[in-house]
Amino acid sequence: MSQRLTILGMRCAGCSAAVEKALKAVPGVDDARVNLALATAEVDTETADAAALAEAVAAAGFEARPEIPPAEAEAAAVERDAAAGRLLLFAAVFSLPFLAEMAAMATGHGGLLPPLLQLALAAPVQLIAGWRFHAGAVRALRHGSANMDVLVSLGTSVAFLFSLALLLTAPAGHVPHLYFEAAALIVTLVLFGKWLEERAKRGATAAIRSLMALAPEQATIERQGVRTTLPIALVRVDDVAVVKPGERIPVDGLILDGDSETDDSLITGESLPVAKGKGDAVTAGAVNGSGLIRVRATRVGADTTLARIAALVAAAQGGKAPIQRLVDRVAAVFVPVVVSVAAVTFAVWMLSDAPLERAVTAAVSVLVIACPCALGLATPAALVAGTGAAAKAGILIRDIETLERAATTDIAVFDKTGTLTEGKPRVVAVHAPSGEAEMIRLTAAAQAGSAHPLAKAVLAHAAGIDLPPVSGLRTLPGGLAATVEGREMLIGSEALFAARGIDAAPLAAVLAEWRALGRSIALVAADGALLGAIGMIDAPRPEAAEALALLRARRVTPVMLSGDHAEATARIAGELGIDRFFGAATPEDKAARIAALHAEGHVVAMIGDGVNDAPALAAADVGIAVGGGADAAMATAGITLMRPDPRLVAATFDAARATRRAIRQNLFWAFAYNVVGIPVAAMGLLHPSLAGAAMAMSSVSVVGNALRLTRWKP
C-alpha cells in the first residue's frame, strides 16, 4: 500500500534527503520517495499510519500533511507566491542602495553610504527578510541535518557580524571596509532565485494541475425523472447524468440518448472533436459539444479515466531515476562538506598571512556559492515537466524506470488487430454446412459480452437478429467459450480447436482458400461438434505506414506479432512493409518471442490492446497499451496511449529521450557548477554578492532547462 503526503518546509536536496531518511526509519515502512519539485513523499507501507509518518517528518524538522487536493494546492501556491513576492520587494527596497554603492565603487567613487546607514539598511534584510533562512538553519541543525538554509544563514551572518564588529571596533574617524552589502544582497538574490524557481516549478507541474482541473465539482443527476445538482462525490455508478452543451462530462459512461460531439483534447491529445451518439462511451472531463446528452455512469470518482490518468502521472512524477540515488547520497553530505571547505579556505588564507577580511570574504563566498538546490531539482524538475508534457499529448508514463528504458528501445513489437489495423474487421465469408443463419445467431450470442474486434465484427454481421441470452463467458487463448441455450459454444482459432481435439479437417479446403486470401478465420463449434467457419478482413490503419516510417527514422525496428494465422499476418505485414513478423501466436508464444528478442540484446517495446497481449506487455522492457483496449493490457503496461494512433509510439520514444536528455543536462550543469564555483570562490576570485547571485541562478537555470520540456509536442 502506498501513502502520498505533502511535505512543507523543504528547500533543497538536503531537506528531501533528511525527510526520506526519517520516513524510511519508521517501523513498517518498506520504502519512501521524496520529490523536491512536487513537495511530496510517497511511502510504501502496510502497517505505518499517517500519524507515525507525520511524527517522523516533524522530528526531522518539517511538516507532513495528507496530500492536498489540486485546487487547494494551487490556491496555496498562489498565496505563497504572493507572500514571497512581498518579502522579495521588502528586501529589494533596502538592498538597492547597496547596488548603487557597488556601482560607484567600481568607478572609483565609493563611499556614498555612511557606515551607520549601511547597518540600518542591512539589518532589516538580515533579520526580517533573511529570518526564513536563519530559522530553517536552526531547525535543520537541531534535528541533526544540514541544508541550503545553513549555508545561506552562516554565510550572511558571518558577513553581517564581521562588518558589525569592524564598525564597533574601528578607531574614531576611521571608516573600515564593511560587507553589509554582501549580507543584504546575498539574502535578496537568493530570495529572488527561490521566487523564480517556485514560479518555474509551477510551470513544470502545470500539466497535472490542468488534468485535475478538468473534473467538474458538480453534476446534474436524473433520478426517477427528477433532475438534481449534486456534488460529484455523491454521484454513483448507474446514475444518469444530464450534460448540457458546453459542459464538462462528470463521469465515465455510455450515452443513453442525444447526439453531440466531445472535445477530448486535454485527455487524449486528440485535436478534433469526436462525434458521439447513443451507445457511445464518453469520458469524465471531456467537453460536451452542441447537443444535450444523457449519460449512464459506468465509472465515477477515483475510478474514472481522468482520475486514473492523474494518478498515473502523479506516480510517474514522484519516481526517481537510478542516477538520482547517487545524487541523494551526494546531497546527504553536501552541506557538511561545503562548511568544511569554507573552514579550510579561511584557515589557508589566514596561514598565508592574508588580511582577515580576505579570509572571511573567501569563506563566505564558498558558503553561498555552493548550491544543493540545483542538485536536488535536476532530476525531478525534468521528470515532472517531461511526463506532464507527454500526458497532455495522450501518452501516460507509469514510472521513471519505464521512461529510461523507452529512451533506449531499438525494437517495437506490434500486435496486429486494433493496433496496426483499424480493429474493425468485417465478415466477408461464412461457411456453415448445417445452416448459416443458425450458426451466426448462436455465435453472435456467445460473443455478445466480448470486446474483441473479431467478436464485434460477428455482432455487426448479425445486426437485426434476436439473440438469446449467454452465460458462462470465458476468454481462452485464441478464442472464447460460452453457454447459449444450454449448448457449449466454442469460437476461436484453428490452434484452439486442435488443442480441444475438435477436427477441422472437413473444412480444410475452405480454410486453405481463405488463408491464401489473408482472411482472419474464426471456427465455430457447439457441444464439441464443428458447425462452420467465419472469414473476416481487417484493413491497416491509415496512420500505420507513417508510424512505422517514423520508428525507422529513429532507428527502431518494427516487428509484428499476431494471434491471427500466418497468412493473414503476412498480408498486413506485406501491405505495411514489415519484414519481420510472426503469426498464429498464443499469449504464451508472444511472451516467449519477446523474451527471445530480449535475449538477442535488444531493448524491446511491446504495443498491444487486448487481454491476450498482457503477458507480452509484462515480458517486454517497455509495455505500451493502446487506449480504448482492455483494462488488463492497460494495467500491465508501463505506458498507455490514450488514443489508438500508432504514431504515438514514436512520439513516446521522443518524449522519453527528451526527458532523459534534460535530466542529464541538468545533472551535468549542477555538478559542474559546484565543481567549478566552489574552488573559484575559495581562491578569493568572487565577491560574496556575486557568489550569492550565482547560487540563486543555478537553481533557476536547472528548472528553466526542465521547463523547456513543457513545450514538447509530438
pLDDT in tens, 41-61: 888 888 888 888 999 998 888
The three-point CA angle 164-168-172 to 5° equals: 135
Catalytic residue (one of 149, 239, 252, 415):
415
Q: What is the model's pLDDT at position 207? A: 61
* Antiparallel, parallel or unpaired: β 529-537 and 520-526: antiparallel
With 0-12 CB in 10 A as exposed, 13-18 as middle and 19+ as buried, what is 695? buried
**Inter-residue contact 454 to 425 (CB < 8 Å):** yes
The three-point CA angle 379-383-386 to 5° equals: 140
Residue type, 13: A
Residue type, 87: L
DSSP 420: I
Spatial CB neighbours of 667, under 8 Å, sequence gap ≥ 6: 323, 327, 375, 378, 379
Query: 415 forms bridges with which residues in the sheet?
Result: 561
The 252-257 sheet, strands edge to edge: 226-231, 218-223, 240-243, 293-299, 252-257, 281-282
Domains of the chain: residue spans and CATH: 2-68 (3.30.70.100), 74-207+314-383+668-711 (no CATH), 216-302 (2.70.150.10), 400-421+540-637 (3.40.50.1000), 426-537 (3.40.1110.10)
Kindly give the parts of the chain with pLDDT less than 50.
629-630
| Separation CA 93–CA 91 (nearest Å) | 6
**Inter-residue contact 2 to 49 (CB < 8 Å):** no
| Separation CA 91–CA 189 (nearest Å) | 9
| Side-chain-facing half-sphere of 450: CA atoms under 13 Å | 30
Cell of 211: 488534468
Q: What is the model's pLDDT at position 611? A: 64
Q: Which of 587, 534, 636 is nearest to 415 (CA)?
A: 587
| Side-chain-facing half-sphere of 658: CA atoms under 13 Å | 23
| Separation CA 324–CA 124 (nearest Å) | 38
Task: Return the sign of the alpha-carbon dihedral for residues 152, 156, 161, 162.
Answer: positive
Is residue 613 annotated as a catalytic residue, yes or no?
A: no
| Separation CA 616–CA 608 (nearest Å) | 9
Spatial CB neighbours of 580, under 8 Å, sequence gap ≥ 6: 557, 559, 560
Residues 657-679 as b or e (16 or more Cβ within 10 Å = b): bbbbebbebbbebbeebbeebbe
| Separation CA 677–CA 194 (nearest Å) | 19
Spatial CB neighbours of 679, under 8 Å, sequence gap ≥ 6: none
Residue type, 292: L
Q: Which of 265, 292, 260 is nearest to 275 (CA)?
A: 260
Q: What is the model's pLDDT at position 318? A: 63
Centroid of chain to Cα 224: 41
Centroid of chain to Cα 149: 30
* Antiparallel, parallel or unpaired: β 622-626 and 604-608: parallel
Task: Give me the residue label for grid cell 553610504.
Answer: 113
Cell of 264: 477530448
Query: 3 forms bridges with which residues in the sheet?
Result: 43
Centroid of chain to Cα 8: 22
Q: How far apart are the first and last CA of the chain?
A: 35
Q: What is the model's pLDDT at position 440? A: 94
Q: What is the model's pLDDT at position 92? A: 92
Q: What is the model's pLDDT at position 475? A: 83
